[in-house]
Structure 1
Amino acid sequence: MSSQDEANVAEVEVSKTKVLEEEGEVAADYLEEFLDIVDLDGDIDIDVEHDRASLAIVADDPKELQGLVGREGEVLEALQELTRLAVQTRTGDRSRLMLDVAGFRAHRRNELRALAEATVNDVKVKGQAIALPAMNAFERKVVHDVITEAGLSSESFGTDPNRYIKVSL
């Protein structure tokens, strides 16, 4: 790759990061207004991870935010979708931002990594495919990534909310 090509790639990366940071700012403004409306205290952390804006609502006492997580993250999923729509309305572009509340997704990501690693070991030992329980898109993405890193194959089947992953050699 020539130095001009490298410079162009670097410029595109800086531009993409700037767009994602702006998307995060728009989302943070929306979430701050939302927290004011529902009368909850929380700080919003903004980052860019894996080519998408990533926001986290945190509080001194995470229990205060549990209502924003809901049972198995259902409220969190809805709040994420509302935030994505608010960003799209403001920017005109579809958003892929990820939202975490009170560390729920971070904790769930760790659980899913452990499940995927155990499944990799089981598939290798048994030599046959294993189907995992139904998961949402975020959960499936985490599992697919771990399976791919381990050199195995994974494929999603079914339709939401019953979409599941099958892991094979």
Structure 2
Amino acid sequence: MSEVTDQETSADDTTDVAEEDAAIESTEATDVSTDEVAADSVAPTKAAPVDLEKEGEVAADFLENLLDICDLDGDIDVDIDGDRAAVAIVDSEDGRVPRRLVGDNAKVLDALQELTRLAVQSATGQRSRLMLDVAGHRAGRRAELVEIAQEAITSVKESGEKVALESMTAFERKVVHDEVLAAGLSSESEGVEPRRHVVVLPA
């Protein structure tokens, strides 16, 4: 079976294209995830700030109830990051957030994020693209990925040869694609899960 390769795209300033919402072929770099709609679908209009605030409130209520049911410590922080709600479970005065809520390769965190999105969708009637973090895991991983991307960018610019990175999740690939695009290069994702990875291409 041949390996799957597809060119990633990035959202422009007037459309809301993300890894969960659209798969649009172009030469710019943005990760395409498995739950995207078809390429000829019309991208939804950006949600108004009040909608994102509502998403955050619903998500916070859901997560607070979940922590109470499971008798786990943690506070909920809610913010807006660009065009999506950003919710985080952080350490509280009563205790630390159990790191098992992140899990190996952030699998538990990803599952918890999807449950939270479904809870928001059930309450608002609109599909949610909120991002969930637990104990700063995604924030820390993002910093690592930026460093990895910068090293690959430097290597590609100096050698003129493409560089293939390690296997990554959709979230991780998106971070790398954004860094590569900002550096004036292009990138694409190759392979199939769980070995899907980013390849940084020369200009």
Which interval holds the TM-score relative to the shorter structure? 0.7 to 0.9
Residue 129 (structure 1) shift:
0.5
Q: Which residue of 2 aligns with 1:111?
A: 144
- Across the aligned residues of Structure 1 and Structure 2, the Cα RMSD in angstroms comes to 1.7
Quick one: higher RCO (CA 8 Å, sep 6+), 1 or 2?
A: 2
Q: How far did residue 63 of structure 1 move?
A: 5.1
2:46 counterpart of 1:19: no
Alpha-carbon distance in 1 for matches of 2:166, 2:152: 12
SS of equivalent to 2:78: strand
1:35 maps to what in 2? Answer: 67
* SS of residue in 2 equivalent to 1:133: strand
Name 1:76's counterpart in structure 2: 109
TM-score by length of 2: 0.73
* SS in structure 1 of the partner of residue 55 of structure 2: helix
Q: CA deviation at 1:89?
A: 1.3
Q: Please say if 1:53 is aligned against 2:85.
A: yes
Instruction: Give me the whole-angstrom Cα distance separating, in 1, the residues matched to 2:159 and 2:115.
Output: 43
Structure 1 residue aligned with 2:157: 124
Q: How many residues align?
A: 157
Using the aligned pairs only, state the percent identity.
57
Which of 139, 142, 150 aligns to 2:175? It is: 142
Once the two structures are superposed, the pairs formed by residues 62-73 of structure 1 within 5 Å of their partners are 64-73=97-106
- Counterpart position of 1:86: 119
Q: Which structure has the highest helix share of the two?
A: 1
Structure 1 residue ranges without an equivalent (≥5): 1-11
Shift of 1:157: 1.7
Cα deviation, residue 126, structure 1: 1.4
Are residues 123 and 63 of structure 1, via their aligned partners in 2, closer, same or farther at CA, if it must alter by over 3 Å? farther
